[in-house]
Structure 1
């Protein structure tokens, strides 16, 4: 409650603030300001909006559609001031257009069944730019998982900006669909004593939660997730009604939520869920009747193919590719693994970057070659510093979310870069004894301590004990691990590893919180935009002794 004096002070502050904004607007040169009157002069204007905008800033293309919407829909009065900033780099690297999605009708799931949900066609006509390549990217609401399903065969990562009019590539039509909604939340540990909950006040890290459809089981990757160190978890499913289920081998139950989880909000704001996990004193260690344990047998992610008389264990291969060129290389890599490996195979691909044509080809390729395939994704958490360049985003997805990408049943995964050809049975790598460590990675030749295996190999090949004899002097400037920061960090006692081929013990990775460590160090180092030049390699090499 406010007193009369409080109201007068607040009114005075508002007038002072408004007067200050008025003075800024009126003192701006006429060529750098714009006034938009309310479109309905006969109606009251509930808002007066002052906007200060750098015309070449990164938000300069995104804000005008919002300003226009506020003026047209809310009858707002707009005062716009342009404040150009000194340029230190090329300001704009893309073109942007906005399209408003029709709101979902009221009435919940029943109304959604008759809702088309389409957005109006968005058209962009771009001037030709000689020698430039463009990429198409949809910036959707945070809670949406959207994917392109048709592009007319165009490579959305490599669109020529100088294609002649009427030629292939001069006109590209892309159709996107909303595939699923993300559900985010936080889980904490509690003890239930009768009707009362005693909170520990600590996150339920390491627990595995799943969204199970009514009358079914969660058989799709992404329907279950691991709770990370902060208590944060993330799930995804298509709109509908679900049960949140706890996978636990301990005497624990899911105490909250006790009812159904509704994924029906398509407004783009996202849903946040509070989960509580703990033990009920004096109650048998069974799942709550409202949350039966998922059928583990129906949720196995087994591979197919191979020779059952030689190997029955499924090998899980993880890879990432973006663009038609790398997708061709990915198909070659898959075929080479299948040709040389006798075990059943299941490939895991990050679906964020796959083209529409590759998505259509993938089931047929898997069936004809003889392997199983699953697509995984993870919404970039809002609390984690984002990357803006697509290549760095791909690198980040390759290394930052290994603990939450895969279902709980997957205990180990082997990463193989899309541009490699496999010429031996990868079971040899799969069976490598990691001695309890989370990674098995390949070191660069010549890195590591002087008495290392790599150094001994150099000596045996040279024949006279000189480890440097076989090193090409012309590559000295490119061996960055022997100079600068990395020379001091490795101190000649640690290897610098390449990230093109590595194996991950997911059980150890999850139990030790390695994913949380990687994300924490990433968040700390990326405060400097010049750090982690080779993100997918630099990060695990930096924390290898943590």
Structure 2
């Protein structure tokens, strides 16, 4: 019963500081004969209310469960299968009070929900079954799992973002109405909090590594991350087993030491007067991943003796547009040579200090800096199709090696197989990254807004610590220029660079909301940028704690459900006065909706922005816009090239061609 209670409370997100002891009197006040249903413990699974009454000695002691529910809420959808387990398997008496709202402006439930728990404990493969779903709407499948679980789609023929029926097919096979989707638990999240026992605040920016043994060698790191300012939170991915968390090499390890209680170590005792406890420094902290429940790992650190006055995040010159420090030009020169040149020569300035602060090792960092790192994400078969064409266009035009970092949470198994085949055929690298949205950060319920959030809120922790820069490219873009130019571009000390919206297509100027009202007053002359392409200097981004600032601002603004309409775009633009944006040259992003036709010839990337004046299917727009004399290969040619590659590798995209999407991934 205890395990069930823990799982249920964590899953439902119900946290009560003091128990409610006067439940009976409150039930009597609001309950009626029609709304209050009392169930005894059932003798057999599935027994109805008439057969449910049993004596108290057949139930679990004197435990009883009382629930007050609005039946037309997500909470009621979640708790219903748990109630069946409590009643039928644990023999717990239940009292259920249904208390619905009396008036609705619209039907409150917009989704079908199944909780994968079964009252038949002999079933070794629990599954969710949806029956009699509507056939004339497009449905989207989304998993709702406990925070520690990293669950990925492992097998499916259908597009889980566009489940639908048509005249030809309504299932995995012609003539079938059954669609099967399999998911697997890929890893578990090791989450926790880290705080400085002397200064009593999180050491935000402190880098951590998950090791396979007690050694502090970074070559053994399974995953790495940094400590957020938000609650001192950190997150690492692991498999079940015994692991060690250690401070990653660099400035953090130079300044801090990891502590543990005297009882947990045989090291000599060092008295910590601030906490009045005996703490000893250790090289690593053991972590046991032995449960599927949400556990919190507490890490304690303090500054080493003699390092108390040094800051982990060093002060750097101003990033204001009026100032262009000499160190900014040093940054470009060193980046072109690789950080190893600066370290070997003992070079100073911003870059060499940040390289030490935010790199695991000089050699691995130099290897990563000699290639272009491209980040992107997609969901649904159509946008996966766009993503493959974007990747191919990048590689064909690039003068440097390319490594793609693809957000794994929403990708299909078929796409991953195809991406790996493309990497082998075209000589680029591909890696998949994942992150779990923390429970303490305000959640989004729409899948589109969840994707937008992942584009901007976790850039500081999404990539390995030895990756110093990434270029985000929307999946529906086609690249005409060499991304090496963008990779080497001087951002003038700013953490990221975006392209401002075009203003050359006069007929759509009236739709640019930032030219008037609130946004005009807030921007105070600064441009409003599009989020379809941006460059992130991760060294600078982490050193300025931009991730912490954006998350705090997001949590504040998202309290109003009408704010941040375009989350991934509005947030960095709103934050310009605290986190400056470097405006990229206009030719780095051309979009037909906002840019004039005569500027297309200079465009280095083409984005398929939605047109505010009329709707056009994305696939038709791609074939029309990305064609003609301006392109070495049009969209159709690139698409056919990928299809031929997949045919050679016998990769099947599914039972129907990807032609539609239920929502857009990109900005603009």
TM-score range, shorter chain: 0.7 to 0.9
Q: State how far apart, in whole Å, the 2-side matches of 1:168 and 1:494 are.
A: 57
CA distance 1:369–1:118, shift in 2 (3 Å): farther
Q: State how far apart, in whole Å, the 1-side matches of 2:377 and 2:440 are.
A: 24
- Corresponding residue for residue 539 of structure 1: 571
Q: Post-superposition shift, 1:88?
A: 2.7
Q: State how far apart, in whole Å, the 2-side matches of 1:477 and 1:225 are.
A: 44
The answer to which structure, 1 or 2, has the higher relative contact order (CA under 8 A, 6+ apart) is 2
Q: State how far apart, in whole Å, the 2-side matches of 1:141 and 1:180 are.
A: 12
Q: State how far apart, in whole Å, the 2-side matches of 1:20 and 1:337 are.
A: 64
Q: Report SS of the residue matched to 1:501.
A: strand
Q: Is the contact made by 2:376 and 2:407 (CA closer than 8 Å) also made in structure 1?
A: yes
List runs of 5+ in structure 1 lacking aligned partners: 1-12, 103-116, 191-198, 283-293, 304-311, 447-469
CA distance 1:182–1:164, shift in 2 (3 Å): closer
- Corresponding residue for residue 206 of structure 2: 207
- Corresponding residue for residue 267 of structure 1: 292
- Superposed CA deviations along residues 211-262 of structure 1, whole A, max 9, x for unmatched, are 0112897779981001112321111111122221212434335423546533
Q: Tell me, yes or no, if structure 1 residue 59 matches structure 2 residue 59.
A: no
Q: State how far apart, in whole Å, the 1-side matches of 2:406 and 2:473 are.
A: 11
Q: How does 1:104-253 map to 2 (within 5 A)?
A: 119-130=125-136, 132-151=137-156, 153-160=157-164, 164=170, 167=174, 170-190=177-197, 199-214=198-213, 223-230=223-230, 231-250=232-251, 251-253=254-256
Q: Tell me, yes or no, if structure 1 residue 352 matches structure 2 residue 402.
A: no
- Corresponding residue for residue 397 of structure 1: 454
Q: Tell me, yes or no, if structure 1 residue 331 matches structure 2 residue 388.
A: yes
Q: Post-superposition shift, 1:140?
A: 1.7
- Superposed CA deviations along residues 338-377 of structure 1, whole A, max 9, x for unmatched, are 0000211111111111112112222222111211111112
Q: Tell me, yes or no, if structure 1 residue 472 matches structure 2 residue 475.
A: no
Q: How many residues align?
A: 466
Q: Post-superposition shift, 1:512?
A: 0.8
- Corresponding residue for residue 10 of structure 1: none
Q: With structure 2 as the length reference, what TM-score do the two structures score?
A: 0.65
Q: State how far apart, in whole Å, the 2-side matches of 1:358 and 1:503 are.
A: 25
- Superposed CA deviations along residues 27-86 of structure 1, whole A, max 9, x for unmatched, are x242x3322112252425522222221121122211111222222343222121222212
Q: Is the contact made by 1:181 and 1:263 (CA closer than 8 Å) also made in structure 2?
A: no
- Corresponding residue for residue 383 of structure 1: 440
Q: Post-superposition shift, 1:297?
A: 7.8
Q: Post-superposition shift, 1:265?
A: 2.8
Q: Report SS of the residue matched to 1:394.
A: helix
CA distance 1:351–1:169, shift in 2 (3 Å): farther
Q: Post-superposition shift, 1:507?
A: 0.9
List runs of 5+ in structure 2 lacking aligned partners: 1-18, 44-53, 261-281, 308-358, 579-668
Q: Is the contact made by 1:212 and 1:242 (CA closer than 8 Å) also made in structure 2?
A: yes
CA distance 1:503–1:298, shift in 2 (3 Å): closer
CA distance 1:174–1:261, shift in 2 (3 Å): farther
Q: Tell me, yes or no, if structure 1 residue 481 matches structure 2 residue 514.
A: yes
Q: State how far apart, in whole Å, the 2-side matches of 1:246 and 1:15 are.
A: 46
- Corresponding residue for residue 34 of structure 1: 37
- Corresponding residue for residue 46 of structure 1: 62
Q: Is the contact made by 1:100 and 1:119 (CA closer than 8 Å) also made in structure 2?
A: no
Q: Tell me, yes or no, if structure 1 residue 255 matches structure 2 residue 258.
A: yes
Q: Report SS of the residue matched to 1:499.
A: strand
Q: Post-superposition shift, 1:281?
A: 6.5
Q: State how far apart, in whole Å, the 2-side matches of 1:541 and 1:384 are.
A: 20
CA distance 1:361–1:471, shift in 2 (3 Å): closer
- Corresponding residue for residue 68 of structure 1: 84
Q: Is the contact made by 1:48 and 1:77 (CA closer than 8 Å) also made in structure 2?
A: yes
Q: State how far apart, in whole Å, the 1-side matches of 2:366 and 2:384 are.
A: 23
CA distance 1:177–1:263, shift in 2 (3 Å): farther
Please identify which structure carries the higher helix content.
Answer: 2
Q: Is the contact made by 1:218 and 1:224 (CA closer than 8 Å) also made in structure 2?
A: no
- Corresponding residue for residue 443 of structure 1: 500
- Superposed CA deviations along residues 85-116 of structure 1, whole A, max 9, x for unmatched, are 122333112111122389xxxxxxxxxxxxxx
Q: Report SS of the residue matched to 2:576.
A: coil
CA distance 1:487–1:297, shift in 2 (3 Å): closer
Q: Is the contact made by 2:149 and 2:292 (CA closer than 8 Å) also made in structure 1?
A: no
Q: How does 1:5-16 map to 2 (within 5 A)?
A: 16=22
Say what the alpha-carbon RMSD is for the aligned residues: 3.0
